[in-house]
Structure 1
């Protein structure tokens, strides 16, 4: 790590206030280009502590940078992660105000719910599959508290992996015979197709994302709990979100998930 405890705390506080006030801040890596992923996670842990002290709770985790193009953009060979907070979860069909965010974009992805705990190291794809109880279609609203999305790896990690909110369809029991690498998806905005994708875009296999998360978090003493949601990563490039938009992601087998964007 390249930062002191005081620097870590002050940066977490800056992000906490940016979230509360919906006012973006300058990238931390502008002032200190030497910041690395480990520094970002230290800031993230401080920020999460502040949010939990306000009464929020962690109901799962999201993985980001699960596609090769995104990893190349951020000059990393691994995904990143952040918590999913209870206050950010919405049901399909929800009306979400654009004003709740700073610079929101929308991504479609496959979401799992665990039926039993997972703790790394040593979690395999097969072990992860056996721990999953439900699957659902999901939309993630990604948002950056860093101005103009000028983020490097440490910035987005610190900022809860740029998570804003998630919208989920009704869950389905996991079919252990179905290969979710082949789950196709069509994404529309206001009726127009803006993206397509398949489960294989998420680290080659969305179930592999669950194993990766369990092993990565396990190194920090964190267990994925029964009931935790796992956001496995975008299947396409994020699409900007504006007041009045209606987003629908239609998935093979999983059905549709819908988000309406309000103006206030």
Structure 2
């Protein structure tokens, strides 16, 4: 259990909120919270996200972070985490995303699951999660950090809503009768150059394993997954920095293509 008091949680959440509002990254939270205090970090995340909800922004789903060994190595963490997806984070295929709303963006390719059923009761195992998925979609997640220079511990990224930025969903929907998530191959390009490759198996062995982990964890936190939510299941390969003027293309076998440009 965390020993961080509520006043410290509030200070940390406000530090992240100020970085968001001013578009200036802040120092890490390690002066306020131990680097491995996961419980305390999720308390900060909850308060940080509540500030966003208070402005009228709707929750549309969840994201799972640090599911790929390659991304874990890049971030210096050794376990997955989760964050919340908001309506103003969502973009469609071929969207132009303004760099002004991002701080230190990095792109990663994922499978998104669109839930057709709640995941709140039962074993929440892979089989149940498979039945709950209405469709799978190619996704491009732009992760972003409010922490300066991505100098993060696990607690930093958890508190910072799992370093969430924005996400882009493709237009091809496939049921899991038509697609085996663990078997897909992914290629990500920036300005026509291949910068990341991977497979579904890179995501905790199977993106459905990641979904099952999230379903159980979300229930444990008292906020289970619900029908209609978008779930970003985690990176299929290394993430890469994005610059102004870049065009990012993701190709996932069986799910087609999703693209975005950055202005």
Aligned residue for 2:123, secondary structure, equals coil
Do the aligned partners of 1:60 and 1:85 also contact (CA within 8 Å) in 2?
yes
1:157 Cα offset (Å): 0.3
CA RMSD of aligned residues (A): 1.5
Aligned residue for 1:25, secondary structure, equals coil
Aligned length: 261
Aligned residue for 1:56, secondary structure, equals coil
Do the aligned partners of 1:247 and 1:258 also contact (CA within 8 Å) in 2?
yes
Per the alignment, residue 41 of structure 1 pairs with 42
Aligned residue for 2:261, secondary structure, equals strand
Using the size of structure 2 for normalisation, the TM-score is 0.95
- Determine the C-alpha separation between the residues in 2 that align with 1:142 and 1:34: 20
- Determine the C-alpha separation between the residues in 2 that align with 1:235 and 1:217: 22
- Determine the C-alpha separation between the residues in 2 that align with 1:182 and 1:215: 24
Would you say 1:104 and 2:105 are equivalent positions?
yes
- Determine the C-alpha separation between the residues in 2 that align with 1:91 and 1:135: 15
Give CA-to-partner distance per residue, 1:74-111, whole Å, 9 cap, x none. Answer: 453x3100001111000010001112111111111110
Aligned pairs (5 A) from 1:150-189: 150-176=151-177, 178-189=179-190
Per the alignment, residue 148 of structure 2 pairs with 147
- Determine the C-alpha separation between the residues in 1 that align with 2:250 and 2:122: 34
1:120 Cα offset (Å): 5.3
Would you say 1:244 and 2:245 are equivalent positions?
yes
Do the aligned partners of 1:120 and 1:215 also contact (CA within 8 Å) in 2?
no
Kindly tell me: are residues 57 and 174 of structure 1, through their superposed partners in 2, closer, same or farther at Cα, counting changes over 3 Å?
Answer: same
- Determine the C-alpha separation between the residues in 2 that align with 1:42 and 1:93: 35
Using the size of structure 1 for normalisation, the TM-score is 0.94
- Determine the C-alpha separation between the residues in 1 that align with 2:106 and 2:36: 25
Structure 1 stretch 207-216 or stretch 33-42: which is displaced more?
33-42
